[in-house]
Amino acid sequence: MEARKIFLSEDEMPRQWYNILADIKMNPPLGPDGNPVTPDKLAPVFPMNLIEQEVSTERWIDIPEPVLDILSMWRPSPLVRALSLEKALDTPAKIYFKNESVSPPGSHKPNTAVAQAYYNKEFGIEKITTETGAGQWGSALSFACAQFGIECKVYMVRISFDQKPYRKSMMSVWGGKCVASPSTETKAGRDVLEKDPNTPGSLGIAISEAIEAAVTDETGKTRYSLGSVLNHVMLHQTIVGLEAKKQFEKIGEYPDIIIGCAGGGSNFAGIAFPFVHDKINGKEIEIYPVEPAACPTLTKAPFVYDHGDTAKYTPLLPMYSLGHAFVPPPFHAGGLRYHGMAPTVSQLAVEGIITPKAVTQLDAYKAGMILARSEGIIPAPETNHALACVVDEARKAKEEGREKVILFNWSGHGLLDLMAYDKYFSNELKDFELTEEEMLESEKVFENYPKPELIKSR
């Protein structure tokens, strides 16, 4: 019988993160004056030890022992051969997934939440503020803060706050305080509510609220934490792909295709960046970030300088963006409802190293159902987007009669997303796709911003 799971021992867990900034060139983030942002400008928002990681170009960065100790609660995560899915699709492809749903909060997010909580604690921070879309990041940071005795405040996008009430319950169990965003607690939130009291909210708005709450705290002991987009977040997630590489070595395989869903970029980067390193060095491999057709940053938006948040508190970042004022439609993959894409992921798309794809909500759920009924695990709506691409590639392999090896990142389970599955069964879910007019309107916000260079790293 073929093995379904490939394990690593705790001793085999990677001891260093991989930093993509050692291998690509980037446009710098810009301040209000149009000049590159210096580390000291970020100090009111992040602790300096994380800022140092944000700007580092060292290829390998040591993982602190206290971080490894907590990660070992569930890491190394298993690499799983999806034999039943292969059978259901009648494909010659070998399909593997890295099961990140085994963490206590049920997703990949604690990989960086634990690291960020540790560095904040080391810097003397007592409270962390953050945003969350689907609630996976908010619950992960609440869990991590509980491990280090730090207070956690989470601004959760309103539509997800209403759609996923048990995410708030998870945060409460770990001591996190969760409020719906936009809220009346911040100027950023009040400004949005004044314009549209019924707004579903967005990650951009929630980020603004969390940053404002951090920088206006007079104690000086509060900092902000981000679950995606920034370089240090991508860095911490690379433990996923680094483990996967070791696991493939154990069975003498190597993937032909890497797939991850993409909202802000963290889970995609986690699985893909260690393999991007191989591709940069000559390995032939296809790498697909998969996003919602309702929020098509990589597939339809321009590569621009734009703010990472709605209130324009963040620096201008070089990224594919629909515009910081863009409010995505209320589809259920809340973790993918972000107007921009991580600068590092954006740069890889600019250079053609990765090939972005977009799928509709209904196609995502159809793929999720195929997997749930074959492999037995219920995927998160975000993971379903990756699965839609996996199913397409597996069927393509059948048409071509080729035994491809496909790897995807199982970013989280869907046990707290069953309301969305109920709506799928009752035909209440629908597809959202942006019109050309909506795209053009959303992009007006950065018309007068500087333009990033189209840099080629090689």
- pLDDT grade, residue 427 (50/70/90)? very high
Give CA–CA dist 129/111, Å, rounded.
18
- As a whole number, mean pLDDT of residues 11-24 equals 98
| pLDDT mean across residues, the chain | 95
Per-residue confidence (pLDDT) for residue 239, from 0 to 100? 98
Q: Selecting from 3.30.499.10, 3.40.190.10, 3.30.9.30, 3.40.50.1100, what CATH number does the domain 65-106+232-445 have?
A: 3.40.50.1100
- As a whole number, mean pLDDT of residues 224-236 equals 96
Per-residue confidence (pLDDT) for residue 437, from 0 to 100? 87
- As a whole number, mean pLDDT of residues 425-432 equals 92
- pLDDT grade, residue 434 (50/70/90)? confident
- pLDDT grade, residue 253 (50/70/90)? very high
Q: Give strand pairing partners of 60.
A: 18
Give CA–CA dist 20/276, Å, rounded.
8
Backbone angles phi, psi at 332, to 5 degrees: -85, -15
Give CA–CA dist 358/329, Å, rounded.
15
Per-residue confidence (pLDDT) for residue 1, from 0 to 100? 65
The CA angle 447-51-327, to the nearest 5 degrees, is: 35
- pLDDT(25) > 80: yes
Count Cα atoms within 13 angstroms, Cβ side, for 296: 20
Domain-by-domain residue ranges, the chain? 65-106+232-445
Percent of the chain with pLDDT over 90: 86
Per-residue confidence (pLDDT) for residue 456, from 0 to 100? 86
Percent of the chain with pLDDT over 70: 99
- pLDDT grade, residue 10 (50/70/90)? very high
Per-residue confidence (pLDDT) for residue 334, from 0 to 100? 65
Per-residue confidence (pLDDT) for residue 331, from 0 to 100? 72
- As a whole number, mean pLDDT of residues 80-108 equals 98
pLDDT in tens, 110-159: 999 999 999 999 999 999 999 998 889 999 999 999 999 999 999 999 98
Give CA–CA dist 396/387, Å, rounded.
14
- Lowest mean per-residue pLDDT among 74-78, 95-99, 345-349, 430-434: 430-434
Per-residue confidence (pLDDT) for residue 282, from 0 to 100? 95
Global pTM reads 0.96
Residues in the chain: 458
Per-residue confidence (pLDDT) for residue 335, from 0 to 100? 73
Per-residue confidence (pLDDT) for residue 328, from 0 to 100? 81
